[in-house]
Structure 1
Amino acid sequence: MKKYLIKFFCLTVVLTLIFSVADAQKTQKKRAATKRGNTTTKKTTKGKTKANIKSGGQVDSVAAIVAVPVEPKIDSLPITKVKKSLRQDEAVETKDIMDRTPLDYEHLRADDAVYRHKIWREIDTREKVNLPFRYSADENNGNQRFISILLKAIQDSAVTVFDPIDDRFTTPLTISQVAKGLGGGGDSVPHYDKNGLVDRIDYKSREINLDSIYKFRIKEEVIFDKESSRLFWRILGIAPVRNVYSTTGEYQGVSEVFWVYYPDMRPIFAKYQTYNGKNFGARMSWEELFETRMFSGRIIKSTMDNPFDLPIAATPGLKDNGVFQLLAGEKIKEKIFTYEQDLWSY
């Protein structure tokens, strides 16, 4: 009987130990699950914190974009708007003059052109003979400055304007690019709040003074035609020139603003009359002025004896001497004149 009681007691103790170990393992699993849940919550919290930081970074980038102003597109040139007269402002009829069209050029065959050279000239309108270029009166067809005539033709899309990167008319320009080339465009001006901090940046357009453009360059070709035994001068292009200054106001030289193809401008020039201070009844059109060569310009470059295609101002020995540059241009004129005269026998 005692043996059975001892076996029962031992079995009871073993079962109690087994159940106690099982309860301890369950408790450890619950604690581990609870720790994992807390870890997951922390990671989620960190993720939310990171998301908030990322959102803040996006707000900063948007603010930075707003702080930089976008340059507005310029779609107009600085042309003075002139009102037309509601009555006839002249005692003579000039309607037919405004409707003139230029005559077509005489055809020149390449086989008949026994002598050809390209010449570049610079016209300074401050010279007395060139003062018609600066005539600034207003008439029914607009302001009469020569630069205003060019800009109005560009504004009205009556002519294609070309980039001054070269003088071969290869790259067309837009009106906005022409305005920038004239010295327009604009400046970024910071605006400060009451605390002295920059809250925005405004964009203000710069004013353009057309009277500051008083030089023009002409590209032309001189041709001797053996069929008609005549020397022809054919203008190919015209470019206004502006002075270039540094940020400190130091003069750095001149720069071409744009090029226009002269044959495209001939119909427009025929409708504008030049200034004649001696006899206002004997005014000629701008097309006639150029064709009769009633202007003065110094030669700044030519294809004559110029294998490196350099302007006279960049020729070695002439860079720093303006008098020698002027004499070099006059020498080119003399060579062309002598060539034509030597073809004749008296």
Structure 2
Amino acid sequence: MKRSLQLIAILSLIIVSSAYGQVDTTDRGEPPIDGYIGLVKKDKRAPMPLAELKPENISYSKRVWQNIDGRLRINRGITSPSNNLMGILLKHIKNGSITAYDPTPNVEKEDPNGDAFKTCLSSGEAVLRLTGKDSVLVEIFDENGEVTDQDWVNPEFDPTSVFLFRIKEDWIFDEQRSVFEPRIIGIAPLIFPKIDRGIGISMSMDLGEGIDDTKDPFVSNDSVASSSEYDAFSMDPQPAFWLYFPEIRNVLVNEFMPNDYNDAEGISYDDFFIGRHFDSYIVKVSNSRDLRIKDYKRTKTEQLLESERLKRELMNYQNDLYRN
């Protein structure tokens, strides 16, 4: 009897230690998981479907282009070293789950602004658009030295150095639902053309690496002499490529932004865009002359004020709808 009680006690200790002890994976050749949150497997999510739009119900539509600056506090999550937006997009471009589109204007393809998603880019071409240098296709080996996969690699590229993104969207009033809302169509990472002071504009691109994080992007510095090889704010940033937003939502919904207040609760990048959890400034609104703000407002201050005026116009249209 005493021997049976001892055996039961030993078994109970084993069960308790198994239930409360940390999972040991070292004997199976797997690395340990860093933290308890990583032990919880999240199901792959699908993006929340948006309400269907019917042409006969749309009484107002305005196309708007806006820039999102990752240096602003509210937008800092998109440049986080742990899970930044550029790194996510590039990873999925490389594995073929999303498609990059050529931003070069092409009138023959009915794409005068280069943002109509007409010409697909390969993953290597997309990397080249970002860095100005050809990416290298390297082979991936397993533990037996056999080739298992291939990947495009450019070790000089730092995704966190891309801090500007442009979104193209339509602001639409749906009479049937009585809703005035923006629908994002595309998103593009912005890069700065590299300037050679002695020769002119180089064909290669630079990501703006080394730019002072405290510099105000809306303050003109034309009068400030610069000894650096290039001045990132003397030229406008250009899209490296365009991505079709409805397509990349399937990726963004399963990628989460860091939360400064709670590591266990973060919003997905899809929530970030759909829920408008960002600050941005308008660079263009559709018009009969196809003018950008910079085409009729010369200084950075004037451009920023015009951006705010256009935002107010959109908001006033919405307010007038509900007031009437």
Q: Does the TM-score normalized on the shorter chain lie above 0.5?
A: yes
1:250 aligns with 230
Give distance in 2, aligned partners of 1:222 and 1:344: 16
Equivalent AA in structure 2 for residue 170 of structure 1? K
1:178 aligns with 126
2:99 aligns with 160
Q: Given the alignment of the two structures, is residue 122 of structure 1 paired with residue 67 of structure 2, yes or no?
A: yes
Q: Given the alignment of the two structures, is residue 231 of structure 1 paired with residue 165 of structure 2, yes or no?
A: no
Gaps of 5+ in 2: 1-29, 105-113, 135-153, 198-228
Q: Given the alignment of the two structures, is residue 267 of structure 1 paired with residue 250 of structure 2, yes or no?
A: yes
Give distance in 1, aligned partners of 2:272 and 2:155: 34
Q: Given the alignment of the two structures, is residue 214 of structure 1 paired with residue 139 of structure 2, yes or no?
A: no
Equivalent residue for 2:289, pick from 308, 325, 340: 308
Equivalent AA in structure 2 for residue 131 of structure 1? R
Max Rg structure: 1
DSSP-derived class of the 1:170 partner: coil
| Count, aligned residues | 233
Equivalent AA in structure 2 for residue 149 of structure 1? I
Give distance in 1, aligned partners of 2:158 and 2:57: 46
Equivalent residue for 1:147, pick from 61, 64, 86: 86
DSSP-derived class of the 1:246 partner: strand
Alpha-carbon distance, 1:220 to partner? 0.7
Alpha-carbon distance, 1:182 to partner? 1.0
- Alignment RMSD: 2.0
Equivalent residue for 2:55, pick from 110, 116, 130: 110
Q: Deviations over 1:228-286 (max 9, x none)?
A: 11112111111001112223323352221000001000010011111110222331111
Q: Residues 206 and 157 of structure 1: is their aligned pair in 2 closer, same or farther, counting only changes over 3 Å? A: closer
DSSP-derived class of the 1:280 partner: coil
Q: Do 2:79 and 2:162's aligned partners in 1 also have CA atoms closer than 8 Å?
A: no
Alpha-carbon distance, 1:91 to partner? 2.4
Alpha-carbon distance, 1:112 to partner? 0.8
Answer 1 or 2: which has greater helix percent.
1
TM-score, length basis structure 2: 0.68
Alpha-carbon distance, 1:178 to partner? 1.4
TM-score, length basis structure 1: 0.64
Which runs of structure 1 show a deviation greater than 4 angstroms over 4 or more consecutive aligned residues?
none
* Relative contact order, higher structure (CA 8 A, sep 6+): 2
Q: Do 2:100 and 2:120's aligned partners in 1 also have CA atoms closer than 8 Å?
A: yes
Give distance in 1, aligned partners of 2:124 and 2:250: 25
Alpha-carbon distance, 1:299 to partner? 0.4
1:76 aligns with none
Q: Deviations over 1:2-28 (max 9, x none)?
A: xxxxxxxxxxxxxxxxxxxxxxxxxxx
Q: Residues 102 and 295 of structure 1: is their aligned pair in 2 closer, same or farther, counting only changes over 3 Å? A: same
Q: Residues 245 and 234 of structure 1: is their aligned pair in 2 closer, same or farther, counting only changes over 3 Å? A: same
Summarize the alignment of residues 1-346 of structure 1 with structure 2, pairs less than 5 Å apart. 86-92=31-37, 94-96=40-42, 98-137=43-82, 144-165=83-104, 166-185=114-133, 207-248=156-197, 249-251=229-231, 252-253=234-235, 254-303=237-286, 306-315=287-296, 318-319=297-298, 321-345=299-323
Q: Percent identity?
A: 29
Q: Deviations over 1:50-72 (max 9, x none)?
A: xxxxxxxxxxxxxxxxxxxxxxx
DSSP-derived class of the 1:343 partner: helix
Alpha-carbon distance, 1:206 to partner? 8.3
Q: Do 2:187 and 2:245's aligned partners in 1 also have CA atoms closer than 8 Å?
A: yes
DSSP-derived class of the 1:220 partner: strand
Q: Do 1:184 and 1:206's aligned partners in 2 also have CA atoms closer than 8 Å?
A: no
Alpha-carbon distance, 1:180 to partner? 1.6
Q: Do 1:132 and 1:275's aligned partners in 2 also have CA atoms closer than 8 Å?
A: yes
